[in-house]
């Protein structure tokens, strides 16, 4: 990939002089992206985040900004309020104002091709953050988690919560049949497909052998999807499912949920319908999964309401974004650990994937508190400091 950057134009360091000499004094450009470099203090990184309605994106924005600033970069961090035109306009403005590198978590992964065209014609490398940007040649790198593995972990956590599997992955004693319902993320987010497909790779065999029954028959991702991952939309869909499918005295035993905000909407609908309030109540809460280890949901897990979540350490994701930006700043290619999985419709985007961990009530302390992600006080209160 020939990443031409305009970084070299602002660079003054001796390192740059050497690298310029090494590539024939042509400066930035040419194949391999060599020839740029320069002090971080000369460079501005535009960081475009989707929304502040979810605490994970606030933490992501803060982590990326703090870590970039610690390296000496200037940072232009913007949140787009989950509004696509706002995000497009913020990115255009970052380019106009001279951003040298862009880090973007897209609201709609298919809606930014124009902005990326603009970035490319200004020789600005683009790093897709957590969500793949689709349908564009001009995505230079992708930092994310192993999103298929997230889905596998969610499906496995549902089976574990139901007792079909034991915690160590061996077969459990429960055989069902269990009534479950399926929720998926926003269809304009590439991740939603990876999560759903990963989960179904685990659940489908159990549906086929009769252990699990999707009583509503809504098994397509289009039927399960929740636009913009919104809690209220998820609550409404769960209410509709309860009315349409469970008004005959039958009960829901488990719900596959791809994200903690969606889980909270599902839990509210279930509790309003008389389930719970906890997993060991007389009319127990169904097993509800999640993702992101949001603090409100970690408390629900600690309180025995939600069964599990998937922890993605966004501090490490921010580190990878900073490492990728630094590589581009030095005229290098960031180091990928996956060059096959993330085809954005135009090309396979070189990626760095981070691992994920499943959290149940019994490992909140070891996974989330001992790592310093949340304090014990935050878990107890359900609020971040
Ligand atoms: C996805 C992300 C998830 C979750 C979701 C809703 O793109 O991978 O971790 O945060 O968006 O915000």
pLDDT in tens, 222-249: 999 999 999 999 999 999 999 999 999 9
Give me ligand 1 centre to Cα 42, in Å: 32
Whole-number pLDDT of residue 96: 96
pLDDT score at 298: 98
pLDDT at 7: 52
User: For residue 55, what pLDDT is reported?
Assistant: 86
Q: How far is the CA of 62 from the centre of ligand 1 (A)?
A: 16
Flag whether pLDDT at 63 surpasses 80: yes
Q: What is the pLDDT of residues 72-85, one digit of tens each?
A: 999 999 999 999 99
Closest ligand 1 atom to residue 51 Cα is: 12
Distance from the alpha carbon of residue 22 to the mean position of ligand 1, in angstroms: 42
The answer to whether 144 and 130 are in contact (CB under 8 A) is yes
355 C-beta neighbours (distance < 10 Å), count: 13
pLDDT at 373 over 50: yes
- Return the DSSP state at 275: -
CB 115 within 8 A of CB 84: no
The total number of residues shown for the chain amounts to 385
Is there an atom of ligand 1 within 6 Å of 54 CB? yes
* Distance from Cα 259 to the centre of ligand 1, integer Å: 7
Is any atom of ligand 1 closer than 6 Å to the C-beta of 314?
Answer: no
Distance 111 CA to ligand 1 centre (A): 17
pLDDT (mean) for 128-151: 97
Summarize the chain as % helix, strand, coil (round to 5): 45, 15, 45
On whether the CB atoms of residues 287 and 254 are closer than 8 A, the answer is: yes
What percent of the chain lies above the pLDDT cut of 70?
90
Distance CA 266, CA 287 (A): 11
Query: Greatest CA separation found in the chain?
Result: 78
Q: Given this model, what pLDDT does residue 353 score? A: 98
CA distance 140 to 124: 9
pLDDT of residue 38 exceeding 90: no
Instruction: Note the pLDDT tens digit of each residue in 194-221.
Output: 999 999 999 999 999 999 999 999 999 9
96-119 pLDDT per residue, tens: 999 999 999 999 999 999 999 999
- Which candidate, 78, 76, 70, 72, places its Cα nearest to that of 97? 76
For atom 5 of ligand 1, the residue with the nearest CA is: 259
User: Measuring CA to CA, how many Å separate 16 from each of 25, 37, 150, 234, 335?
Assistant: 10, 5, 41, 52, 20
* CB-ligand 1 contact for 56 (6 Å cutoff): yes
Q: Is the CB of 291 under 6 A from ligand 1?
A: yes
Query: Which residues partner with 143 through β-bridges?
Result: 129, 352
Q: How far is the CA of 199 from the centre of ligand 1 (A)?
A: 15
Q: Is 130 in the pocket of ligand 1 (CB under 6 A)?
A: yes
CA distance 15 to 127: 24
Contact 259 CB / ligand 1 (< 6 Å)? yes
Does residue 228's CB lie within 6 angstroms of at least one atom of ligand 1?
A: no
Q: How far, in Å, CA of 281 to CA of 283, rounded?
A: 5
SS3 143: strand
Lowest mean pLDDT among 24-33, 154-163, 222-231, 331-340: 24-33
**Rounded average pLDDT over 313-329:** 96
Nearest to 3 by CA among 33, 35, 45: 33
Residue 27 has pLDDT above 90, yes or no: no
> Would you say residue 62 has pLDDT above 50?
yes
């Amino acid at each position: 990939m020939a990443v031409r950057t305009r970084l070299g134009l602002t660079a003054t360091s001796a390192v740059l002089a050497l690298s310029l000499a090494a590539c024939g004094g042509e400066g930035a450009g040419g194949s391999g992206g060599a020839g740029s470099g320069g002090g971080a203090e000369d460079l501005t990184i535009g960081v475009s985040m989707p929304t502040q309605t979810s605490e994970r994106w606030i933490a992501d924005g803060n982590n990326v900004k703090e870590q970039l600033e610690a390296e000496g970069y200037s940072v232009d961090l913007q949140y787009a309020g989950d509004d696509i035109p706002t995000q497009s306009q913020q990115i255009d403005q970052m380019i106009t104002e001279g951003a040298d590198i862009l880090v973007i978590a897209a609201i709609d992964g298919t809606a930014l091709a124009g902005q990326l065209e603009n970035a490319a014609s200004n020789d600005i490398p683009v790093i897709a953050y957590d969500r793949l940007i689709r349908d564009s040649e001009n995505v230079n790198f992708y930092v994310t988690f192993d999103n298929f593995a997230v889905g596998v972990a969610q499906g496995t956590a549902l089976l574990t919560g139901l007792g079909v599997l034991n915690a160590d992955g061996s077969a459990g004693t429960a055989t069902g049949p269990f009534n479950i319902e399926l929720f998926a993320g926003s269809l304009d987010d590439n991740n939603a497909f990876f999560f759903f497909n990963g989960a179904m790779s685990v659940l489908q065999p159990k549906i086929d052998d009769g252990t699990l029954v999707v009583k509503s028959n809504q098994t397509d991702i289009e039927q399960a999807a929740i636009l913009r991952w919104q809690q209220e939309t998820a609550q409404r869909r769960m209410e509709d499912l309860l009315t349409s499918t469970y008004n005959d005295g039958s009960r829901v035993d488990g719900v596959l949920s791809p994200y903690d905000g969606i889980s909270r909407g599902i839990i509210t609908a279930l509790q309003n319908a008389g389930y719970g309030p906890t997993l060991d109540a007389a009319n127990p809460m169904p097993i509800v999964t999640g993702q992101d280890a949001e603090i409100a949901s970690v408390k629900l897990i600690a309180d025995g309401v939600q069964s599990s979540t998937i922890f993605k350490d966004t501090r490490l994701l921010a580190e990878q974004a900073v490492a990728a930006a630094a590589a581009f700043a030095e005229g290098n290619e960031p180091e990928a650990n996956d060059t096959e999985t993330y085809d954005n419709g135009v090309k396979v985007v070189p990626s760095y994937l981070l691992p994920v961990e499943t959290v149940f009530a019994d490992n909140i302390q070891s996974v989330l508190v001992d790592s310093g992600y949340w304090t014990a006080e935050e878990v107890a209160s359900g609020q971040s400091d």
